[in-house]
Amino acid sequence: MVQELLIPSDHPRRVSLEIRERLVECFRKGMVVEQGLIAHGRGEAYDYLIGEKTTSTALNAIKTAVAALLLAKEPVLSVNGNVACLCSKEIANLAEIINAKIEINIFYRSKERIKIIEEELKRYYSKKIYGVEENNYAVIQELSSARRIVDRYGIYLSDVVLVPLEDGDRTEALVKMGKKVIAIDLNPLSRTSTTAQISIVDNIIRVIPLMIKYAQEYSRVNREELQSIIDNFDNKSNLEESLKTILRGIR
Ligand code: PTJ
């Protein structure tokens, strides 16, 4: 009711304002950290400059990411506080379609937050959630942050990992470990975007539903065709195109 009064249905920035409300609610529940709200603000600025829509460049990366996940032997979707808040239902749906594992992996680590995120995911997902059982923890030696802790049967074992809203250190470490890393990050200049092999410069709110759509479509496509989508993708030039879109947005 309060939200209805604050955000009229005809407000031109309604979607963006509703996302903010959702994040604040998740922050109050302990799912999202203060830093998550700040990180979202940074993302919003880039989103504004790309016109708050999925560009053809981002779509290109989305299709490639889906092809890579479908060809993977051990695909894993990594979930942090912001991701759980914004799209737990869609992440669960995507995991089911591409037969991927879901792992909770957070930067600002606490048992309590892991529990809250797990509960949120469980509303939509009945399979095992990785990153929860302490007995299964493994360590990425190159990292000193809490993100060094991963699940030995999840990210540690994976060949392709989707890391939305990730920090650069872990992306670099995962790439060094020989994994194919798919990033979702509105900032094309971030270390995550420039280090990942497939970088989707778009808002996660729009990306995951599109990944679901293409996962359904590509499930019927043969492996050679999926491989050719990956072979024809050039992440560096794709990122340059994203940057050009942002520069046009500034002008
Ligand atoms: O839940 P935790 O403890 O793992 O913490 C999560 C945050 C997001 C706080 C943590 O991962 C963090 O500090 O991330 P960074 O290093 O600030 O990176 C987040 C990146 O995601 C930034 O480059 C933002 O521009 C981008 N971003 C923010 N919101 C969105 C986004 N990208 C896509 N969609 C968004 N909605």
Substitution site in 121, 147, 165 for ligand 1 pocket (most atoms within 8 Å of beta carbon): 165
Secondary structure E strands in the chain: 75-79, 101-104, 129-130, 137-139, 149-151, 160-164, 180-184, 198-200
Distance from the alpha carbon of residue 39 to the mean position of ligand 1, in angstroms: 5
> At residue 4, does pLDDT exceed 70?
no
Distance from the alpha carbon of residue 36 to the mean position of ligand 1, in angstroms: 6
108 within ligand 1 shell (Cβ under 6 A): yes
Start-to-end Cα distance in the chain = 39
Whole-model pTM? Answer: 0.95
Which residue has the least CA distance to atom 1 on ligand 1?
81
For the stretch 110-134, pLDDT in tens is 999 999 999 999 999 999 999 999 9
Mean confidence (pLDDT) of the chain: 94
At 132 the pLDDT is 97
Which residue has the least CA distance to atom 8 on ligand 1?
36
39 within ligand 1 shell (Cβ under 6 A): yes
DSSP-derived 3-state class of residue 144: coil
83 within ligand 1 shell (Cβ under 6 A): no
Domain ranges of the chain: 56-250
At 1 the pLDDT is 46
- Name the helix (H) or strand (E) containing 90: helix 81-98
Give the pLDDT band of residue 193 (cuts 50, 70, 90): very high
* Residue carrying structure tokens 């737990």: 88
Distance from the alpha carbon of residue 46 to the mean position of ligand 1, in angstroms: 12
Q: Are strands 160-164 and 198-200 parallel, antiparallel or unpaired?
A: unpaired
* Residue carrying structure tokens 């379609």: 97
Q: Are 134 and 102 in contact (CB under 8 A)?
A: no
Give the pLDDT band of residue 143 (cuts 50, 70, 90): confident
Which residue has better confidence, 231 or 167? 231
46 within ligand 1 shell (Cβ under 6 A): yes
Give the pLDDT band of residue 141 (cuts 50, 70, 90): confident
For the stretch 57-80, pLDDT in tens is 999 999 999 999 999 999 999 999
Identify the CA nearest to 72 among candidates 205, 162, 176: 162
- The average pLDDT across 210-224 equals 97
> At residue 2, does pLDDT exceed 70?
no
For the stretch 220-248, pLDDT in tens is 999 999 999 999 999 999 999 999 999 99
Which residue has better confidence, 180 or 143? 180
At 147 the pLDDT is 77
77 within ligand 1 shell (Cβ under 6 A): no
Q: Are 144 and 161 in contact (CB under 8 A)?
A: no
Which residue has the least CA distance to atom 7 on ligand 1?
36
At 223 the pLDDT is 97
129 within ligand 1 shell (Cβ under 6 A): no
CATH of domain 56-250: 3.40.50.12640
